[in-house]
Each structure stands twice: as structure tokens, then as C-alpha cells.
Amino acid sequence: MTEKESSIINSAISLFAQDGYDGTSTLSIAKKAGVSEGLIFKHFKNKRGLVEKLIEISEEKLEDMISPLKELSHPKVILKYILSIPLNIGQQEKKLFTVIYSIRWQINDKRLDLLKLFEPKILESFKALNHNDPISETRTFLMILEGTFLYVLKNDSQDSLLIFDNLLEKFNL
């Protein structure tokens, strides 16, 4: 990946997060990236191709967040870790996930439901805890996880910790 290519990606993330996919012109991305408009199409074929790239990156980012789970064995620790993820994302990831969230309303693509990646691990954990309805509990857990993500993306929250403790309690973690 050349320097210009990654400059385009970063500009796209910022602008998509700020103004939405449709609200961002390829020209504005090019300008912000200090690059000619044509180059975007050379590298990504489409404006849509840019989104594809962002989805890929998001998936990789999330995979990275999931991978430490392999070394954890206790289900409560696993669930705690998952719940902590939205509270620990950095500024650039925040923008990236904001893009993914906003795009979900405009583009139909299963891959945009990023949190689905956590489902197996969560279900497995609740089963290990002998929860009496692990499937429902998983669904609720995911739902709340999504609420937490949304909250973090929308608010510059410093009160994350309070929310976190509160959630742990509700899931007996």
C-alpha cells in the first residue's frame, strides 16, 4: 500500500464519518488526501470500492480485538473482555466504526453487522456458565453491546467506567 493510497483511505474515513457516504464527494476525499481525483478510481475502482476497503479494514480491526480471546478460557473473563471492547477503542477506530454504522442504513451488506463476529464466543460462554437460556441471553448481550458501541461513538464519554461496572453487574460478571 503506497503512501498516497493510505492517505486516501484516511481521508475517506474522516469524511465519511463526518458527512456520511453520500454526503462526501470523491473530489473532497482527493483534496483532503492531497491527491488527484482520478487516483481514487485507479486504486479502488469505485467509490463503492472505497467502502469495500473500509469494511475489510474494520473486519481486520475487529479480528485483532477478538484474537486475544483465544488465550482466555474462563467464560466470565471472556464476556467481560468483550463488553470492554467498545470502551477501549481509539480515535481512528471510532471514526472507522462510525462510518460502518452510518453506512448500514444505506448499503445492505451482511458484513456490516460487525458484532456478529462475537456471537459464537458469547454463546459458547453462556453455555459454559450453564445459563438456562443461553441463546436469548446471547441475543440480549449483543443488543446491549450494540447499544454500548452506539453510545461510545455518539458521545465523547469519559464516564465509560461507570457504564461498564453497571453492565457487568447486570450479567453477573
51 binds, among its own copies, DNA, none (CB under 5 to 8 A by kind): none
> Taking the complex as a whole, how short is the minimal distance between the CB of residue 108 and DNA, in angstroms?
17
Question: Contact, 140 vs 74, CB < 8 A?
Answer: no
Tell which residue, 115, 120, 119, has the closest CA to residue 104.
Answer: 115
> Taking the complex as a whole, how short is the minimal distance between the CB of residue 105 and its own copies, in angstroms?
3
Nearer to DNA, 41 or 171 (CB): 41
DSSP 20-42: -STT--HHHHHHHHTS-HHHHHH
The stretch among 3-11, 52-60, 132-140, 156-164 that binds DNA (CB under 7 A) is 3-11
Question: Contact, 109 vs 26, CB < 8 A?
Answer: no
Chosen residue from 12, 16, 18, 43 binding DNA by CB under 7 A: 43
Strands of 3-147 (E only): list them.
none
81 binds, among its own copies, DNA, none (CB under 5 to 8 A by kind): none
